[in-house]
């Protein structure tokens, strides 16, 4: 069974739990005492991932780290529909890769701001918040144009991709980092759609979509 | 009326300045190193010795964060004490003793900090949320409550005449997973005790020892009027669960509360009884707000007119 080195309050670990739940893949969560133990920085953990960060998966001896890389692997291996990582469609693969790189930006701004506020990480909070707003503005406008074209997700096509999945946790938890989504209506509608995907699970701080 | 803060946001409210305030868990502070935090709108530094003695001072340039320091050599320090897992200080004239937790010293208890989490709200909003049972089934569904069992049974509140602490007693709530060890739903007994304006303790039925109580504290460090850090104190009788397992349970609960607490506006707690409409189950918070007024607390609150 897949082992996921996991921390309940980590957005990047949540991304893996989300995809595994949506794809209905059983896995074992191996809890890492991220805070206050900083176990991911321990010498023992660095034998698993020398970079000292989570998540990491161990799929029957195959070890992979980096949240967005793991999403690619899990979707490529465990999604028989081939929709979450649309490898058969070069244009959609390109779009997925592009928005996954964009999601590195939201992780490094919106989710970094959350670490500043909640756990007092020594980042420049105002710079993180300003960076997140710059990216949210771009994403909100993109999603607005997608809606005009009858599309619900960041990439073209009728089905969400791992790019949506990589972006969603950074966006939905942004208020914990002091980043309001008040000014991004298309972004808010997209988070509502995302929460209605079959197999969706929450993490602390995220509530399910309201019925209806 | 603006809150009781000076031009740079520092606190000018005597009732709050004279309290003891937590700065951080002793166990989480590397010894003999300068740690910098904020308290009541000011930058405050502290260090602990390996033996658990502390020094606290207003941050200054020659002792920057991360620098090695012998805490006992620092001059010009503020009052400080290491007690109940945390380093405490005061920016005024604090009482000799803050409050007592006799249970803490029982030999079979496990005492530890579950987490310290920063919140974008005022300290008394955090205390009041901790005091509220009504939100359990909605915010902590499946753990501390579950629909349709949403009733908050009537309970009693009083201010203790000797200690001037707020108590809410004979509280009961049905909980599907009351603790890290719970395997089935149960009616759980709660007693709340507010010892200081920003510090609260919960006494809760203990699954491992039915005649005793587990203690869960929320000691709040008001970093400014509208920001705080919550230190989650645990004193449990539980020799089964790993500390990691208990921490994950508590951190999950805490993180579920974050969006609820942070979306309460205004962020400072209004003390005017007309400002927000209470219901019957809010009797503890009604008394808490009145008690804050009586103590003369004006910082991190909106005082009654």
For residues B53 and B87, the answer to whether their CB atoms sit within 8 Å is: no
3-state secondary structure (DSSP) of residue A122: coil
The CATH code of domain A2-78 reads: 3.40.30.10
CB atoms near residue A149 (< 10 Å): 7
Residues of B in contact with A31 (CB under 8 A): 244-245, 248
ipTM of the complex: 0.84
pLDDT at B152: 87
Q: At what angle do helices A185-194 and A162-172 cross, to 10 degrees?
A: 110
Q: Please measure the distance between the N-terminal and C-terminal CA atoms of chain B and give it in whole angstroms.
A: 9
Closest residue to B120, CB basis, from A33, A119, A178: A178
Residues 6+ apart with CB under 8 A from B128: B269, B285, B288, B289
Residue A98 has pLDDT above 80, yes or no: yes
- A123 contact B CB<8A: no
B258:A36 CB<8 A? no
Model pLDDT, residue A132: 98
Task: Write the residue in A31, A120, A178 that is nearest to B244 by C-beta.
Answer: A31
Measure CA A185 to chain center.
20
Interface test with B, best of A5, A9, A115, A179 (most B CBs within 10 A): A9
Record: contact A117-B251, CB cut-off 8 A: no
Q: Distance between CA atoms of B28 and B22, rounded to whole angstroms? A: 13
Q: Write down the mean pLDDT value for chain A.
A: 96
Residues of chain B neighbouring A118 (CB-CB closer than 8 A): 117-118, 258
Residue A212 confidence (pLDDT): 61
pLDDT tens-digit map of B130-152:
999 889 888 898 889 888 888 88
B→A interface, C-beta within 8 Å? 25, 27-28, 37, 113, 115-120, 229, 244-245, 247-248, 251-256, 258-259, 262-263
Mean pLDDT for A130-138 is 98
What average pLDDT is seen over chain B? 93
Which residues does chain A have within 8 Å of residue B245's beta carbon, measured at their own beta carbons?
31
| Cis peptide bond N-terminal to B266, omega within 30 | yes
Q: How far is B85 from chain A (nearest CA, A)?
A: 14
Task: Give the nearest partner residue to B262 out of A31, A36, A175, using CB atoms.
Answer: A175
- pLDDT tens column, B184-233: 888 899 999 999 999 999 999 988 888 999 999 999 999 999 999 999 99
Per CB-CB distance under 8 Å, the chain B contacts of A33 are: 244, 247
User: Which of B115, B138, B245, B258 would you mutate first to test chain A, the one with the most A CBs within 10 A?
Assistant: B258
pLDDT in tens, A37-63: 899 999 999 999 999 999 999 999 999
Q: Cα distance from B252 to chain A (closest Cα, Å)?
A: 6
pLDDT for res B3 = 52
What are the CA-CA distances from residue A154 to residues A58, A147, A170 (Å)?
A: 29, 10, 15
> From the CB of residue B24, how many other CB atoms can be counted at a distance below 10 Å?
22
Which residue of chain A comes nearest to B37, CA vs CA? A120
A60 shares contact with chain B (CB less than 8 Å): no
Q: What is the pLDDT of residue B2?
A: 46
Contact criterion met (CB below 8 Å) for A4 and A55 = yes
Per-residue model confidence (pLDDT) at position A58: 98
A8 and B248 within 8 Å at the Cβ level: the answer is yes
Q: Model confidence at B1, in pLDDT bands (50, 70, 90)?
A: very low
Task: Give the separation between CA A101 and CA B4, rounded to whole angstroms.
Answer: 46
Domains detected in chain B: 14-89 (2.20.25.680), 103-302 (3.90.380.10)
Residues of chain A with CATH 3.40.30.10: 2-78
- Is the pLDDT assigned to residue B21 strictly greater than 90? yes
Q: Is A118 in the B-facing interface, judged by CB distances under 8 Å?
A: yes
Q: Give, for B290, the enclosing helix (H) or strand (E).
A: helix B283-295
Higher pLDDT, B278 or A136: A136
Instruction: Compare CB distances from A36 to B28, B256, B262 and report the shortest one's residue.
Output: B28
CATH for the stretch A90-194: 1.20.1050.10
pLDDT of B129 > 50? The answer is: yes
Q: How distant is the Cα of B266 from the closest Cα of chain A, in angstroms?
A: 15
Six token digits for residue B129 = 């949320």
3-state helix, strand, coil in chain A (%, to 5): 50, 10, 40
Contact B297, B15 (CB under 8 A): yes
Question: Residues spanned by CATH 1.20.1050.10 within chain A?
Answer: 90-194
Q: Please give, rounded to a whole number of angstroms, the shortest distance from the CA of A152 to a CA of chain B.
A: 26
CB A205 to CB B259 under 8 A?
Answer: yes
- pLDDT in the model for residue B4: 60
> Would you call A120 an interface residue with chain B, using a CB distance cutoff of 8 Å?
yes
pLDDT for residue B101 is more than 90 = yes
Residue % of chain B over a pLDDT of 70: 99
d(CA A132, CA A183): 13
Partners of A48 in beta bridges: none
Q: Which of A31, A175, A203 sits opposite B248 (nearest CB)?
A: A31
Taking CB atoms and an 8 Å limit, are B258 and A176 in contact across chains? yes
Give the distance, in angstroms, between the CA of residue B117 and the centroid of all CA atoms in the same chain: 11
What gap in Å lies between CA A100 and CA A161, rounded to an integer? Answer: 10
Residue of A nearest to B252 (CA): A204
Question: Which alpha helices (DSSP H) does chain A contain, by range?
Answer: 11-22, 43-46, 67-78, 90-106, 112-119, 125-148, 162-172, 185-194
**Whether A163 contacts A103, CB under 8 Å:** yes
Query: What's the pTM?
Result: 0.91
């Amino acid at each position: 069974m897949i082992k996921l080195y996991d921390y309940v309050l980590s957005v990047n670990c949540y991304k893996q739990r989300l995809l595994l739940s949506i794809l209905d893949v059983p896995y074992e969560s191996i809890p890492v005492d991220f805070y206050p133990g900083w176990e991911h920085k321990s010498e023992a953990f660095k034998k698993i991932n020398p970079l000292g960060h989570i998540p990491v998966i161990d799929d029957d001896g195959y070890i992979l780290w980096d949240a967005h890389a793991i999403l690619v692997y899990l979707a490529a291996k465990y999604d028989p529909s081939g929709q979450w990582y649309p490898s058969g469609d070069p244009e959609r693969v390109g779009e997925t890769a592009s928005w996954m790189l964009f999601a590195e930006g939201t992780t490094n701004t919106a989710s970094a701001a959350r670490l500043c506020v909640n756990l007092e990480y020594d980042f420049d909070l105002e710079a993180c918040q300003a960076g997140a707003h710059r990216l949210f503005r771009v994403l909100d406008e993109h999603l607005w144009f997608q809606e005009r074209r009858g599309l619900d997700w960041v990439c073209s096509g009728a089905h969400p991709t791992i790019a949506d999945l990589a972006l969603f946790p950074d966006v939905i938890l942004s208020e914990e980092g002091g980043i309001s989504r008040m000014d991004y209506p298309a972004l808010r509608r997209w988070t509502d759609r995302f929460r209605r995907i079959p197999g969706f699970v929450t993490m602390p701080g995220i509530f399910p979509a309201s019925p209806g | 009326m603006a809150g009781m803060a000076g031009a740079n946001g520092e606190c000018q409210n005597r009732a709050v300045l004279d309290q003891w305030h937590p700065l951080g868990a002793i166990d989480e502070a590397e010894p003999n190193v300068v740690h910098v935090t904020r308290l009541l709108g000011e930058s405050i530094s502290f260090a602990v010795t390996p033996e658990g003695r502390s020094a606290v001072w207003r941050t200054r340039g020659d002792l920057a964060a991360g620098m090695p320091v012998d805490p006992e050599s620092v001059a010009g320090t503020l009052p400080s004490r290491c007690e109940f897992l945390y380093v405490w200080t005061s920016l005024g004239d604090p009482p000799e003793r803050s409050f007592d937790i006799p249970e803490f010293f029982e030999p079979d208890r496990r005492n530890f900090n579950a987490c310290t989490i920063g919140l974008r709200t005022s300290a008394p909003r955090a205390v009041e949320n901790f005091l509220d049972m009504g939100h359990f089934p909605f915010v902590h569904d499946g753990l501390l409550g579950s629909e349709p069992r949403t009733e908050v049974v009537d309970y009693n509140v009083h201010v203790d005449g000797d200690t001037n602490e707020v108590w809410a007693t004979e509280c009961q709530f049905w909980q599907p997973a009351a603790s890290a060890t719970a395997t089935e739903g149960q009616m759980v007994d709660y007693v709340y005790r507010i010892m200081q304006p920003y510090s609260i303790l919960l006494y809760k039925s203990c699954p491992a020892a039915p005649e005793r109580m587990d203690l869960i504290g929320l000691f709040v460090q008001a970093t400014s009027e509208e920001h705080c850090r919550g230190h989650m104190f645990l004193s449990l009788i539980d020799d089964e669960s790993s500390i990691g397992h208990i921490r994950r349970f508590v951190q999950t609960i805490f993180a579920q509360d974050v969006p609820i607490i942070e979306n309460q506006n205004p962020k400072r707690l209004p003390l005017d009884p007309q400002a927000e409409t209470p219901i019957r189950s809010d009797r503890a918070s009604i008394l808490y707000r009145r008690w804050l007024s009586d103590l003369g607390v004006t910082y991190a609150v909106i005082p009654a007119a």
